[in-house]
Amino acid sequence: MSDSPTLPGLAALLQTQQKAFRAEGPVSAATRKERLQSVIDMLVKHNEALCKAMGEDFGGRPVVFSMMNDVLGSLASLKYARDNLENWLADSPRPSVAPFDNFGATAWVKYQPKGVVGIIGTWNAPLFTLLSPLSSVFAAGNRAVLKPSEIAPRTAAALAQAVAEFFSADVLAVVNGGAELGAEFARQPWNHLVFTGSTQIGKLIMKAAAENLTPVTLELGGKSPVIVGQSADIRNAAERIAVGKAGNSGQLCVSPDEVWVHTSQSAALLAGLQEFYSGLYPDTGANADVTPVVNAVHFARIESYVADAKSRGAQVVTAGSAADTGAHSSRRMPLRIVIDPPADSAISQHEIFGPALVLRSYTDIGEVIDQLNQGPRPLALYYFGANAQEQARVLDHTLSGGVSLNDVTMHPALHDAPFGGVGDSGMGHYHGREGFLEFSHARSIYSAGGHDPRREWGMLPPYNDGFVQMIKGAVAP
C-alpha cells in the first residue's frame, strides 16, 4: 500500500512502538482484553472484504474455506486468549533460598511483556498466521507490527486498511512490501520475532535475528507423515486423510505429505483415497469448492514433483477428474497419489504443499519409525490404529511438533495446547498459556527477610574453621 512505511520508516515505526511501550508501564488485564476485543471486532466488521481478498489472491479460493480457516480460526484464538488471560497473569510463588526462608525471605516469578513483537505471516493462511500468534502476543501485553506475505497482496492491503481503522500505529501496525522489506523486517531489533514459512527462509530469518539476539518463534512445516497401523479402520483412515489433504488443496503447513500403510492394506487404502477424494471433488477445473494452487510458479513446482517421480518409475494414480491436470488457467488440480517414489526424487525430498500425496507400504512398523527418525522432524505426525501398544510405540519413539490420532490436521485447533514445531519444523509455539509464556519474560524475584544471619553464623569473611567444616560437610550425595 502507498501508506506502508519505507525501509527507514520501518525502523521509525518500531522505535515509536517501543517508546510507547516504555511510557505505558504495566499493561493491565483490561487493556490486553480491550486490544484483543478490537481485533475481534475488526475481523467481524471486515470479514467479507478479507475473504474476498483472499479469494482473489488465490484466483478463486472458496469463501467458506477462508471464513472457516482464517476468520473463524483467528477468532477462536483471539477469544480464547481474551477469556483466559486473567488466569495466566498471576505471579507464580516459588520456594525461597534456605535457610533465609526461615527469616522471611520469599521468591516468585513475575510474567512481564517483552515489548514489541514482529510477526511475519505466510500466503497459505494469510490471516491466521498473523492473527493467531497475535492473540498470544496481545495476551502477554505486547505491541506488534504485522508483515503479511507479498504473495497475497490483496489480503495484505485489506488487512492494513482494517488495522489502521481500529488501532493507532503505536499499538498495532501493518507493513507491506516484497522480499527487500521482509529481509529488513527480520533485521530490526524486535523484542521477539515470529515467522511462518519454509525451513530455508526460516534459517535466514533466524540468522538475521541473531544480529540483535532477538528471540524467535519459527513455524516451518515439513513433510508431515501418516502411519496407518494394521489395526486401523482403513476406510475411516482413507476418508479422514482425503478430507485433510483436500483442505486448501494441500496448501497447509500440517497437510499430510506421505502415508505409510502395511503392504496387505495398501490397495484398500489407495482405493479409499480415490473414492473419498473424488466424492469431495468429482471434478476440479470448474469446481468452485476447489482451492486453486496459489500461483503459476507453485503450480509448475507441484507438476514437476509428480513428473519427476513418474520419470523415475513411480506409479501415479489420480483422485478426482484428471481432465484439468495441466489446466494452468484455473490452477485447480486433482489429487495425484505417487506410489513408492525413490528416496532421492523431488517429491520425497521436498514438502509438497499442494494436491499430491506419497503412498508407501511397509511390512514392519519399526522400519517406518526408523525411516522417519532419519529425516527432519516434521511439524505434524499422524497415526491411525486401535492398537494401544503400537500407538504408544509410535508416540514414544518419534518426535514432531504435534500429533493427531485417528485423524489429520486437527491438533492445531487445540486452543489450550501449544502449536509449534521442533528442529527443521520450527521452534517455540503459540496458543493457550504456553503462547502467553512464549511472549512473556519470566522474571525471577527474590525478596529478603527482615534479618540476615550470615555474619553471626560465620558465613562472611574472615571465614572460621567451623564454617569451612560446615561447607565441606554439605558436599554429600
Strands in 356-362's sheet, in edge-to-edge order, are 315-319, 335-339, 356-362, 258-262, 225-228, 380-384, 402-405
- The answer, yes or no, to whether residue 476 has pLDDT greater than 80, is yes
Judge residue 176's burial from the number of C-beta atoms within 10 Å of its C-beta, 0-12 exposed, 13-18 middle, 19 or more buried.
buried
pLDDT computed for residue 326 by the predictor: 46
Q: Which fold has domain 7-220+427-441?
A: Aldehyde Dehydrogenase; Chain A, domain 1 (3.40.605)
Q: Look up residue 204 and give its three cell numbers.
A: 535466514
Q: How far apart are CA 111 and CA 441, in angstroms?
A: 6
pLDDT computed for residue 284 by the predictor: 85
Nearest to residue 81, comparing CAs of 145, 161, 171, 142?
Answer: 142
Q: How far apart are CA 328 and CA 310, in angstroms?
A: 20
Q: How far apart are CA 243 and CA 280, in angstroms?
A: 8
Cβ distance 418 to 435 under 8 Å? Answer: yes
Strands (DSSP E) found in 137-198 = 143-147, 172-174, 192-196
- The answer, yes or no, to whether residue 407 has pLDDT greater than 70, is yes
Of the candidate ranges 40-54, 91-105, 193-207, 455-469, the one whose mean pLDDT is the lowest: 455-469
- The answer, yes or no, to whether residue 55 has pLDDT greater than 50, is yes
For the chain, the domains span 7-220+427-441, 225-417
Tens-place pLDDT, residues 114-140:
999 999 999 999 999 999 999 999 999
Tens-place pLDDT, residues 298-333:
999 999 999 999 999 999 999 987 655 445 578 999
Residue 253 catalytic?
yes
Q: Look up residue 284 and give its three cell numbers.
A: 476440479
State the DSSP string of 183-248: HHHHHS--SEEEEES-HHHHHHHHHHHHTTT--EEEE-----EEEE-TTS-HHHHHHHHHHHHHGG
Active-site residue, selected from the candidate residues 51, 184, 239, 253? 253
Q: Look up residue 308 and give its three cell numbers.
A: 519427476
Higher pLDDT, 435 or 320: 435
Residue 51 catalytic?
no
- The answer, yes or no, to whether residue 181 has pLDDT greater than 90, is yes
Q: How far apart are CA 302 and CA 308, in angstroms?
A: 10
**What's the DSSP call for residue 360?**
E
Active-site residue, selected from the candidate residues 219, 239, 258, 438? 219
Pick 225-417's CATH classification: 3.30.70.270, 3.40.309.10, 3.30.830.10, 3.50.50.60.
Answer: 3.40.309.10
